[in-house]
Chains A and B, each alone.
Chain A
Amino acid sequence: MSSKKISPLERQYIVLTQQGLPLCAKPYHWLAEQLDISVEQTLAMTNDLKARGIIRRVAAVPNHYKLGYKFNGMTTWDVNDDQAMEFGEKVGQLPFVSHCYLRPRHLPQWNFNLFAMVHGRSESEIAQYQQQIKQLLSDVLQSHQGPTNDVLTSTRILKKTGLRLRVNSK
């Protein structure tokens, strides 16, 4: 089985678990029963999906908003293409950056190619993080037009769900 391809049984696994595992002493027993395979096979399948990068981790997913992290900022940067990879890596290592991506520019509407998401408990915390990233990128920032960087703070969460695979889709 190639790493990206998902078998019908694995698809069933995803559909059964994408909303979470049941909170009981033996959650994989429940899953094994649903999949009609043994608990050992279920655990092996979980390990395999993890090894192939389809499952990132099996974990508790906290609602950061409820934990006081009410502010998030999508910081966006216009970084020299030759050094974007190297500096993207560096920004991604910062402890307050939860994810960091390189994305295409759409000139003239959109000139930023590096995105780094930061989370904080106050607006000033977000501003402080933006400054720290700016310092790190000071030598590689450029300006196709207008500003070299921006921060888009979220004002409202309009929708947030986990992965939703339909049962019958291929």
Chain B
Amino acid sequence: MELAIEFDSLSQQIINTYQRGFPLCSRPFLQLATEFNVSEQEVIDCLERLKAQQVLSRLGPVFNHMQAGASTLAAIAAPVDKMNQIAAIINKSPQVNHNYAREHDYNLWFVVTAATESELTQAIKDIELAIGYPILVLPMERSYHIDLSFKVCFKPLAQEVANDH
């Protein structure tokens, strides 16, 4: 599979370096520009381009929901013909920040967040009431790895496979 967007080497470096974090200083892009041997403005322009292409969804602090409030994973086994309708009700809640359709009897998987545990319980009750189906509540008991960054491989798939053999 080919990527729809071509990435120059600066973009590739920026994506793989910045997703792990950028330096905490008053001019974070200048420090990386020096490292990449380009100007500060080139780094900013490149970031702007990647944002416009929606390759970067945002740039800034990544908050830990668990620390900033309460949250849980939740699932619903929605009848297939009512899935869209139920998903629309779930998505309307400002307290839902992820919702994925998955291939399973439990076919809607979403994350509910709230400022406190009691608000979270109430939010789940409200959604349950609005959709009329029971919610499977699966709060995190322990997390082992919650770093969503991973090194992006820019080689086309076929080439990567060929190199592996």
Partner of B56, one of A4, A61, A85, A161: A61
Q: Does B163 contact A (CB under 8 A)?
A: no
How many residues on the B side are at the interface (Cβ–Cβ under 8 A)? 79
Chain A nearest CB, measured from B148 CB (Å): 5
A153 to B59, CA, bound (A): 28
Instruction: List which A1-17 residues lie within 8 A (CB) of chain B.
Output: 3-4, 6, 14, 17
Question: Are B102 and A74 interface neighbours, CB within 8 A?
Answer: yes
Which residue of A55, A98, A158 has the most chain B CB atoms within 10 A of its CB atom? A158
Given contacts A100-B145, A110-B138, contact A153 B102 (CB under 8 A): yes
Chain A nearest CB, measured from B30 CB (Å): 7
Chain B nearest CB, measured from A101 CB (Å): 5
> B residues bordering A, Cβ < 8 Å?
1, 3-5, 14-15, 18-22, 24-30, 40-41, 44, 47-48, 50-51, 53-65, 67-69, 73, 87, 90-91, 94, 96-104, 106, 108-110, 113, 115, 136-150, 152-153, 157
> A residues bordering B, Cβ < 8 Å?
3-4, 6, 14, 17-21, 23-29, 39, 43, 46-47, 49-50, 52-64, 66-69, 74, 85, 88-89, 91-93, 95-104, 106, 109-110, 115, 119, 121-122, 150, 152-166, 169-170
Q: Can you list 28 residue pairs at the A/B interface with Cβ under 8 Å?
A: A17-B61, A21-B61, A23-B51, A25-B27, A25-B40, A43-B26, A46-B61, A50-B24, A54-B64, A54-B68, A56-B146, A57-B21, A58-B24, A59-B59, A59-B149, A61-B57, A66-B4, A85-B142, A88-B144, A93-B144, A98-B148, A99-B144, A99-B146, A104-B138, A121-B153, A159-B98, A165-B68, A165-B69
